[in-house]
Amino acid sequence: MSDLRVALVAEGPTDSVVIEAGLRAVLDRPFTLTLIQPEATRPQMGTGWCGVFKWCREFDARKFESLEGDPTLEGFDLFIVHLDADVAEASYADGGTAVELAAAHLPRLPCPQPCPPPSAAADQIRKVILAWLGLSCAGQRTVLCVPSKAIEAWVAVAVLEPSHALMFGIECNLTVPVRLASLPKSSRICKTTREYRKHASTVTKNWSEISEKCTQAERFGREVAAAVASVSSQ
């Protein structure tokens, strides 16, 4: 069986590490992951949610009905677009004048939602992603990955004890990334690619616990499985 070819649009390289680790737990076949945003040869796109925004708007300008229908993306079997749910707390103005002007006719940011449930903001950001892409729905081989409030929640569940204070209400806690980086030195997890790679195998190993504690991780795994089934049926 040939490797599944996965294209990832993400806020940054640390997110890519965590998503790849999750895929290793979810998929029962080999795969290769290509981070197409951020991409080193296009530094002008930037990183973070603004980089995802710019990439999505470029896709929309090409006017294809799905990511899998875009010939510039030919060769990929599965597409993943990532944004953390905390983007609901952001403002287009945070990205500068160009981003703010480009978003003039798009869903508003900020668009905060009550939490719990974690799904409220996640669902809102899913709608935002689709609007940025200019799509009414995602294609059968496209998965929207929206951790609540941030993908660091998945890392925290993987590496910290179940009784740790961060575990309580973790999907509704906007401070998880900062608090992980502020832990005592022996357990501190700074937001660097090198640091996250140290914990990637733990994320894979403890994916069932992550899915149990984080509803949006469970949803991601379920939707990846459905998308891969669509690939296999073609």
Q: Is 96 domain-assigned?
A: yes
Q: Is 8 domain-assigned?
A: yes
> Which residue range forms the structural domain that includes residue 227?
4-150+213-233
Can you give the pLDDT at residue 230?
Answer: 86
**Higher per-residue confidence, 19 vs 2:** 19
Q: Is 161 domain-assigned?
A: no
Over the stretch 193-211, which tens digit does the pLDDT of each residue have?
999 999 999 999 999 999 9
Predicted TM-score of the model (pTM): 0.97
Q: Is 138 domain-assigned?
A: yes
Q: Is 191 domain-assigned?
A: no
Q: Is 84 domain-assigned?
A: yes
Query: How many CA atoms, within 13 angstroms, populate the side-chain half-sphere of residue 202?
Result: 13
Q: Is 164 domain-assigned?
A: no
Q: Is 206 domain-assigned?
A: no
Is residue 127's pLDDT more than 70?
yes
If one counts the domains in the chain, the total is 1
Can you give the pLDDT at residue 2?
Answer: 82
Over the stretch 18-35, which tens digit does the pLDDT of each residue have?
999 999 999 999 999 999
Can you give the pLDDT at residue 231?
Answer: 84
